[in-house]
Amino acid sequence: MKTPASLDFGHAPETIEFWKRLVREALSLSAPTPLYIFSALPIAERIVELDAALVASGFQLKTKNSKLKTTFRHWLSFKTQPVAPLLRWWREQGRGIEVVSEFELRAALAEGFAPENILVNGPAKHHWLPQFELRELSVNFDSPAELAALLPHAKKLNWCCGVRILTGEEFDPETPQLPTQFGFAPDEAIVALKKLQRAKTRVETVHFHLRSNISSVATFERAIAEVAEICRVAKFSPLHLDIGGGIPMRHVLTRGGKIYDGQFGLVAFAQSLRQSVKLFPDVREIWLENGRFVSAGSGVLAVKILDVKERRGVRQFICDGGRTLNALMSVWEQHALVPLAERGGAEVSTVVHGPTCMAFDQLARIPLPRSLKAGDHLLWLDAGAYHLPWETKFSHGHAAICWHDENGIRLARERQSFERFWGDWK
């Protein structure tokens, strides 16, 4: 049965069948719902697609033998999908990881990442980073206070240093007239870059990160031009331009029905980036930290319908997982939600609820086949970005997780037991 167009959000039929197959395999392994399944295969596909656009525009993939041409390098955004098997798989590809907290750094080290393949970002890291005597880290400073506190460590340990710049293109999405809390203001960035150069540190990077789901290539162009002007005034010529992330994810809509990537094209982005890089005569590497674009499509949330109610012209499903526990992104995003079983017949207005005692717990409000019943499973697609970091245990334990890669599918984390749910209390 073809999934109704109103439910698939533009996903190819083979993509939906891929996830249905993995969910069936996971259920056959007795993996309980609610259940996250994460797969390396969609991540690999997104990286290959982005690489192809960048290479076609004139960049060169960073390798040990890269020469002459400006290269590009992907950093895994740990915070987007903090799944241990993903870190292991990514490290085996020979790629680096970006971390923003003490726990993330500890996890990266535990999974075997060498310090020279770790990029440390985030605010207020001067309160925890000094405890790590790690040489050759890449560190992007976030504030004047942080720079003052960490500068001695940077010199002693030969860090590859950078400065995060708050450009005019970065703002608080909820209050666009206000800036975010990250990075140096332009005048502060000039002072910081001069200070790092005077101190004869290994300062090589300028960095900005605008926000998620940038809708226009022109936004990157304006930000890069502003960063180039700051570097000119500071008399600093970086070797690395770290543009963070921001490439929009696919097949996801805003609550108002707008497609996030409707105006964005990878080819146009790569070509624009190639032209913008000319503003930095000594740049040798472009660093990318894309989280959502790379990993959003690599996860799915499977839930089971526990109860069905009908009143006031609407059908209501009570499921074992939902917004409050597993998918806080549904507050501002609409994702494809499809039945695992092939259910036909007329569609009726349906609200999909989680099991918590909150009216807030609404995963979706969409037309679904009336033939769906208690015991059936539903798949919430594109659950690979920020779903797990914002998972809660509101009256319930954390969900089970399955991991899939070239070697098949396996249970990577068991559902949280009561003993683990309550056992931390003293």
| Cβ pair 260, 282 in contact under 8 A | no
Geometric angle at alpha carbon 101, from 95 and 102, rounded to 5°: 100
| Residue 301 pLDDT > 90 | yes
Please state, in angstroms and rounded to a whole number, the distance separating the CA atoms of residues 257 and 334.
8
Tokens 């192809």 correspond to: 52
3-state secondary structure of 374: coil
**365-388 confidence digits (pLDDT tens):** 999 999 999 999 999 999 999 999
| Residue 8 pLDDT > 90 | no
Name the residue type at position 229.
E
> Which domain-ending residue is among 290, 320, 355?
290
Please state, in angstroms and rounded to a whole number, the distance separating the CA atoms of residues 69 and 56.
13
pLDDT at residue number 423: 95
Q: Within this chain, do residues 327 and 374 fall inside the same structural domain, yes or no?
A: yes
Provide mean pLDDT across the span 72-80: 97
Claim: this prediction has a pTM higher than 0.85: yes
Provide mean pLDDT across the span 207-222: 95
Q: Which CA distances in Å does 250 have to 257, 262, 297, 324, 378?
A: 13, 9, 8, 23, 20
Q: Is residue 47 part of a domain?
A: no
Q: Within this chain, do residues 258 and 303 fall inside the same structural domain, yes or no?
A: no
Q: Within this chain, do residues 218 and 326 fall inside the same structural domain, yes or no?
A: no
Q: Within this chain, do residues 10 and 77 fall inside the same structural domain, yes or no?
A: no
CATH number at residue 326: 2.40.37.10
Least confident of 24-33, 229-238, 254-263: 254-263
Provide mean pLDDT across the span 81-94: 97
Q: Is residue 45 part of a domain?
A: no
Considering only CA atoms, which of 197, 241, 246, 194 is closest in space to residue 217?
246
Q: Within this chain, do residues 357 and 410 fall inside the same structural domain, yes or no?
A: yes
pLDDT at residue number 158: 98
3-state secondary structure of 219: helix
> Which domain-ending residue is among 258, 290, 322?
290
pLDDT at residue number 68: 58
pLDDT at residue number 380: 97
CATH number at residue 230: 3.20.20.10
Q: Within this chain, do residues 316 and 286 fall inside the same structural domain, yes or no?
A: no
Q: Is residue 383 part of a domain?
A: yes
Provide the terminal-to-terminal Cα distance of the chain, rounded to the nearest Å. 53
Q: Within this chain, do residues 184 and 303 fall inside the same structural domain, yes or no?
A: no
Q: Is residue 53 part of a domain?
A: no
| Cβ pair 24, 375 in contact under 8 A | no
Q: Is residue 50 part of a domain?
A: no
| Cβ pair 120, 144 in contact under 8 A | no
| Residue 400 pLDDT > 80 | yes
**181-191 confidence digits (pLDDT tens):** 999 999 999 99
| Cβ pair 340, 23 in contact under 8 A | yes
Q: Within this chain, do residues 317 and 399 fall inside the same structural domain, yes or no?
A: yes
| Residue 4 pLDDT > 50 | no
pLDDT at residue number 9: 85
Radius of gyration of the chain (CA): 23
Please state, in angstroms and rounded to a whole number, the distance separating the CA atoms of residues 77 and 193.
25
Tokens 């993509």 correspond to: 15
| Cβ pair 182, 142 in contact under 8 A | yes
Q: Is residue 214 part of a domain?
A: yes
> Which domain-ending residue is among 290, 312, 333?
290
Which residues on neighbouring strands pair with residue 118, listed in sequence order? 97
Q: Is residue 393 part of a domain?
A: yes
Q: Within this chain, do residues 154 and 200 fall inside the same structural domain, yes or no?
A: yes
| Residue 96 pLDDT > 80 | yes
| Residue 426 pLDDT > 80 | yes
Quick one: what percent of the chain has pLDDT higher than 70?
97
Q: Within this chain, do residues 252 and 136 fall inside the same structural domain, yes or no?
A: yes
- If one counts the domains in the chain, the total is 2
Considering only CA atoms, which of 287, 299, 315 is closest in space to residue 399?
299
Provide mean pLDDT across the span 302-315: 96
Q: Within this chain, do residues 361 and 395 fall inside the same structural domain, yes or no?
A: yes
pLDDT at residue number 344: 86
Provide mean pLDDT across the span 403-420: 97
Outline where 34-176 has alpha helix (H): 40-57, 84-92, 102-110, 144-157
| Residue 5 pLDDT > 60 | no
Provide mean pLDDT across the span 298-327: 97
Range of the domain at 323: 5-39+297-422
Provide mean pLDDT across the span 242-248: 97
Q: Is residue 51 part of a domain?
A: no
Q: Within this chain, do residues 211 and 227 fall inside the same structural domain, yes or no?
A: yes
